[in-house]
Structure 1
């Protein structure tokens, strides 16, 4: 009986410690620097819309694509011009673009409570079926930057084409503190 009690106590203590570690606040501004990421001012919209809108405590960020260091959009179709890993890198690059939009809109990423919902669209060949693996490039970076608060609901879908021939377009909904 005593062994069982101590075993159960140990399980409870370990799970509490794990829970506390998961709830530990992450400083997203510090994480961005640690990851060596430079956020740029978002590109101006090329149509009659805005990059982000706040409604209450939610920020709705328009769909964006991967902008390379030279300011040009990365182009290509996943399954033809890019493989899964290159598509995943494009999704990560798109995440950096979206973080720049978010920071520009709210001023400081520390104001973010959590990433709520993401729609990831992959410009893919008809037979390509690994859309979630591609959009993982985005999701993984959100967790790297925001910790557990970067985990989000998500849809990852394939498209026959995307604007300007970009390989991924991603939009997201963010909750502010």
Structure 2
């Protein structure tokens, strides 16, 4: 089964491509690796989840926001890898959470990315992961996700 068929089976549609918000490339290929720029929770170019976890953004909203960031990242990967079927493995993701200093549920919120990746790619979608709480993100975004993926030969 192709990954496009898998997405359809899961009822997942990749969002439209969000253009870069500043002077950077959405992704860079180097050898068999593809590095993405961080993607915020945008839909059709508009920030959907804005604010802080622990102060206005609930854990459920945070999970959904991270999931949307991950979908946006997959849109970038789909474009730069000439299709998701050209991925061999999701190697590393970093999840940045705009949160209050006392917020402690980072791992639970970051599962919004990993749960989605494993559902789509199986074990090849279970990456190494870092989750970092930060005091602010571009445009007041609730979160941001970046990835490093291995491409097929």
Instruction: Sort the TM-score into its range (normalised by shorter chain).
Output: over 0.9
Counterpart in 2 of 1:4? none
Whole-Å separation in 1 of the counterparts to 2:114 and 2:66: 9
Partner of 2:72: 97
Q: How does 1:1-177 map to 2 (within 5 A)?
A: 27-68=2-43, 70-74=44-48, 75-177=50-152
**Structure 1: where are the runs of 5+ without partners?**
1-25
Q: Which has the higher helix share?
A: 1
**SS across alignment from 1:140:** helix
Tell me the TM-score normalised to structure 2 length: 0.93
Query: Which structure would you say has the larger Rg?
Result: 1
Aligned residues: 151
Structure 1 residue ranges, 4+ long, deviating more than 3 angstroms after superposition = none
